[in-house]
């Protein structure tokens, strides 16, 4: 038994070290403006990709470390999949994506990411339900995301003669349609959002943190990058379509929140909600408003870290109480105080309460929307407050309620400390990132 534990520590150490090194290297590449050229594959970190890379790096490390104890849940099941190998490949391929400057290599890593996410989602493959959800997820991604992106890159290659990133002037309508579907499904944009609340709950919790905190954000990255590269005038229908789908995302999440009893489903809907917010920013980006890219980056980083912390804490809840059902943990604060308090902090961070960074981000979104449409801005502001009230009610109804649920196992330190670190990072994300991006001329 001790041999197995030792080898697990080694795996955790090796994978987290790799991710730390990768994050540091990309940070150095950004600060010193270094461009790497490996056999024609150009890697560059600019101010648009930096927040995504930092987000993936930090959430990746947290996911790897919190997996150490979390995986004990699967100990007796005789599972033969190499978890850390897949996890490391998953994180690495995700970190590569924002650095690339070539669509061919982009889709290569994009597909590696999808494949690895499938293999990680079905980690608990002995359960037939998980297996079929994982299969449906993979099929959905292949049919919508991969096919559309392949066609998109074929068009790009056809018009510009190369897969490298260049500026495009022609056929923006077709490119935008394909991009909207291909990247939109990854991001969980209406009407292609339905996979999110199914897939996130069944994956192991550290993986849910990565899926929700990092992977869906790459859909945003792809769309934003495509929009930046399109030099032709972006048709106005695209702005309206994007705003409309974003609004539907937000409204649908608002309706679904009170109906959720499964903690991970609840947070999956919260991801859909926040994707709506970010997509509004992307819509603003199409109007060529200054700093929209920066705000996207800030929002992504702040939200990614907060979302990862709530998912890792849901993992902690599953570990401690053996259930995802919120009804069974009523009065959590009386039996496992640290978990309950951390969850409260994480939920507050997620809902944009000061001093957490997401407050500043949401504030920025509303401010920018004011320039575009007064009504929209007011609607988002009201929505923000109402969602906060819903979550406050959830905290009171479940976490602070009467009762004392039974503890199966004590809360492991790896989970509580990583969640705490993520919450702190989420507080500091806004000013630090602004400093980093601002530091460069």
Partner 1 sequence: MDCTVFFMASFLAPITLGLPAFIVDGRKADIYLVFNLSLITIIYLLGTILYFESKEKIVHVILVKNSILGEFYGLIVDPYSITVGLVVLSCGILFLVYSIDYLSKDNRLHPVRRGKGRFYGWMLLFMGSTLAFLHASTLIEALIFFELMSLSCWGVISYYGSARDIISANKALLYTHVGAVLGLYLASFLSLYYIGDTSLFSLSNLPAYAKTELLLLVMVASLAKSAQFPFYSWLLDAMVAPTPASAFLHGAAMIEMGVYLLGRIAQFINATSPIVLYVLVLLMVITCIICMLMYPLQVNAKRFLAYSTIGEAMIMYIGVVYALAGSSIGLKATIAYLVNHAFIKGLGFLIVGVFEYTYGTHNMRHISNLILKSKLLSMGWFTSIIGLSGAPPFSLFFGKMLILASVTSVETLLYLIPVFAMIVYSCVFFIVGISWVNRMIFSECEEENLAVVTKIPTLMKYSIISLIVFSLTSHFLFYNMISQITIYGGLTS
Q: List residues binding partner 1 (CB under 8 A).
A: 78, 80-81, 104, 107-109, 111-112, 114-115, 122, 125-126, 128, 131-132, 134-135, 138-139, 142-143, 146-147, 150-151, 153-154, 157-158, 161, 163
Nearer to partner 1, 18 or 157 (CB): 157
Closest contact distance (angstroms) between CB of 152 and partner 1 is 10
Closest contact distance (angstroms) between CB of 222 and partner 1 is 16
Closest contact distance (angstroms) between CB of 109 and partner 1 is 8
Closest contact distance (angstroms) between CB of 91 and partner 1 is 15
With contact defined as beta carbons under 8 Å apart, do 233 and 288 qualify? no
- From CA 431, how far away is CA 261, in angstroms rounded? 35
Nearer to partner 1, 112 or 252 (CB): 112
Nearer to partner 1, 138 or 430 (CB): 138
Closest contact distance (angstroms) between CB of 67 and partner 1 is 20
Closest contact distance (angstroms) between CB of 110 and partner 1 is 8
Nearer to partner 1, 2 or 78 (CB): 78
Nearer to partner 1, 149 or 209 (CB): 149
Nearer to partner 1, 53 or 121 (CB): 121
């Amino acid at each position: 038994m001790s041999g197995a534990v030792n080898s697990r520590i080694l795996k955790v150490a090796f994978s987290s070290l790799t991710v730390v090194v990768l994050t540091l290297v990309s940070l150095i590449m950004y600060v010193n403006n270094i461009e790497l050229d490996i056999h024609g594959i150009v890697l560059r970190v600019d101010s648009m990709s930096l927040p995504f890379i930092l987000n993936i790096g930090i959430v990746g490390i947290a996911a790897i470390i919190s997996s150490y104890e979390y995986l004990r849940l699967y100990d007796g099941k005789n599972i033969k999949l190499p978890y850390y190998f897949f996890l490391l490949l998953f994180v690495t391929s995700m970190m590569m994506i924002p650095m690339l400057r070539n669509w061919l290599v982009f889709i290569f890593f994009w597909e590696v990411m999808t494949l690895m996410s499938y293999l990680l989602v079905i980690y608990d493959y002995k359960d037939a339900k998980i297996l079929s959800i994982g299969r449906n997820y993979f099929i959905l991604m292949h049919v919508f995301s991969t096919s559309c992106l392949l066609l998109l890159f074929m068009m790009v290659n056809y018009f510009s003669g190369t897969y490298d990133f260049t500026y495009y002037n022609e056929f923006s309508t077709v490119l935008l349609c394909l991009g909207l579907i291909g990247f939109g499904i990854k991001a969980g944009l209406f009407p292609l959002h339905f996979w999110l609340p199914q897939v996130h709950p069944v994956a192991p919790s550290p993986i849910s943190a990565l899926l929700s905190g990092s992977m869906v954000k790459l859909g945003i990255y792809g769309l934003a990058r495509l929009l930046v590269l399109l030099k032709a005038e972006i048709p106005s229908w695209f702005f309206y379509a994007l705003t409309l789908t974003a609004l539907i995302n937000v409204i649908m999440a608002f309706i679904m929140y009170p109906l959720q009893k499964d903690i991970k489903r609840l947070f999956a809907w919260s991801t859909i909600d926040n994707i709506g917010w970010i997509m509004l920013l992307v819509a603003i980006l199409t109007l060529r408003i200054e700093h929209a890219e920066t705000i996207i980056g800030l929002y992504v980083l702040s939200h990614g870290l907060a979302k990862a912390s709530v998912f890792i804490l849901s993992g902690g809840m599953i570990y401690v109480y053996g259930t995802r059902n919120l009804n069974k943990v009523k009065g959590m604060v009386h039996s496992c105080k640290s978990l309950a308090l951390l969850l409260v902090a994480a939920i507050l961070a997620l809902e944009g309460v000061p001093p957490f960074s997401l407050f500043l981000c949401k504030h920025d979104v509303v401010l920018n929307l004011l320039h575009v449409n007064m009504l929209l801005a007011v609607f988002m502001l009201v929505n923000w407050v109402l969602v906060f009230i819903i979550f406050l009610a959830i905290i009171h109804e479940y976490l602070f309620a009467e009762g004392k649920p039974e503890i199966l196992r004590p809360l492991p330190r790896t989970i509580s400390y990583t969640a705490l670190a993520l919450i702190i990072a989420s507080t500091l994300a806004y000013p630090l990132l602004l400093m980093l991006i601002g530091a460069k001329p």
